[in-house]
Amino acid sequence: MEQKKIFIDIRDLLDTLKKSLWIIVLCVVIFAGLAWLVVDKTTYYVATAQMMIRDEVVDADTGMVMEVVPQQKALNIPTDGAIIRSDSVLETVIKNLAIDMTPEQLRGMVSVKADEETAVMLVSVTSTEKAQAVEICNEIAKVCPAEIVALTGIQGVELIQSAVAEPFTPDAAVKRMLLIGAFAGLLFSIAFVLIRYFLDGTIRSEFEVSMDLKLPVLGILPRAKGEGARANQSIPPEHSETYNTLRTRFSRSGKHVIVVTAPGKCGAKSMVAEKLAKALAVGEQRVLLIDGDLREGALSEAMGLLKESKGLSHLLINTEEAPDGVLKHMENIVMLPAGKLPEEPARLLSTKALPELLERLRQDYKYIVVDTPVVTEITDATIWGCYADTTVLVLDKAKTKMADAHKCKKLFEELGVEVWGAIFNEERN
């Protein structure tokens, strides 16, 4: 697990998050919508009555009437508030109004606040019914003075203003729930994208190729500007250095017949074969590019030669015919198109005609680059590999499955076919 962290490509990870932005936005909207559905949007009514402790009390020892200043009255507010919300007061209110609720339930609807300067108590009752809020608040204002006088010794409590109800919608709670929902959607979507990113099983880094697949990376094709690299076009400037390096590698390796294939569906395979042939042709080297895909002829189609009646298949059937009449001269390379696609490609490639044809072509060309079908359940690439000097795998970033790459490499190794290395393609083909 720790080794896996080394393979994380931050740029690719950020690019994946960017491409998954629509998923993130969708999840944020959905979760915020769900929060909107479940949040309490009920309109409440808050009925508030104003009460004040009388300004004078009678001293029990002297019988003298004394004035109570607001600060002294304010000291009594917590006690008075507790009395107002006490079971004795609330039970009396419930009994008088015949309300179907417990004192605890009613206590949750009642609140007491105070103005410290004037010692005015604000008794509030919150309810979804306006009439109920007003009725309960007025009844509390009616019942509580006797309890306060009895328990505190204060002469009395004066009702300044009867209950007045105002509508109230808990906007803060709604906003809070929307923010929580949006944030939950953000976390969920990012977690989803990251889990999919790490569990998709594709090759994301050249380090995985060398460390996990145990193959040397012969070259890396970075993303090109614009539409990127395409077959039958010049080599993009961003790829020039890579192909120059590949040309140097092959010139020193003594390998002249090169099979280019891929472990699975790979949009860059044929393009890499063509660009590699062009790179090897620098310096007036004679280079032959063969479309060895007798099933689809993808390279021939890209080069506009798919409808050619004569090509590789024709030479494999007509073994005595010279290749010169079938070859197509294109820029600085010569190409042997696939020709007419046969019904049984593997059977045709398995005849002795293939190694004999390659032997003849070796005499005339410094390098022969063969674009073959991908290695899945098709054996064509392995047949070509048996007669070539080496094989190169093209691996598409974030597309080629690591399991397919291992399976492909193992298949070649079992047949004794050399897999020289891999070309890691970062293009979005």
Q: Give per-residue pLDDT as tens, 317-333.
A: 988 888 887 888 887 88
pLDDT for 2 = 40
pLDDT for 15 = 80
Q: Does residue 71 surpass a pLDDT of 60?
A: no
Q: Does residue 376 surpass a pLDDT of 80?
A: no
Question: What 3-state DSSP class applies to 123?
Answer: strand
Closest CA to 129 of 86, 160, 97, 176: 97
Q: Does residue 262 surpass a pLDDT of 60?
A: yes
Distance of CA 267 to the CA centre of its chain: 24
pTM: predicted TM-score of the whole model, two decimal places: 0.65
Q: Does residue 81 surpass a pLDDT of 80?
A: no
- Under the banding of pLDDT at 50, 70 and 90, the label for residue 6 is very low
Tokens in use for 23?
Answer: 């998923």
Fold agreement (44-168, 204-425):
no
Distance of CA 157 to the CA centre of its chain: 64
Q: Does residue 55 surpass a pLDDT of 60?
A: no
- Separation CA 328–CA 48 (nearest Å): 96
Task: Return all residues near 358 (Cβ < 8 A) that are at least 6 apart.
Answer: 257, 368, 387, 388
Percent of the chain surpassing pLDDT 70? 85
Q: Among 30-39, 104-113, 217-226, whose mean pLDDT is lowest?
A: 217-226
Domain 204-425 matching CATH 1.10.10.10: the answer reads: no
- Could you tell me the fold of the domain covering 44-168? Alpha-Beta Plaits (3.30.70)
Domain boundaries, the chain: 2-40+172-198, 44-168, 204-425
Give me the mean pLDDT over the 281-304 stretch.
Answer: 87
Residue type, 306: L
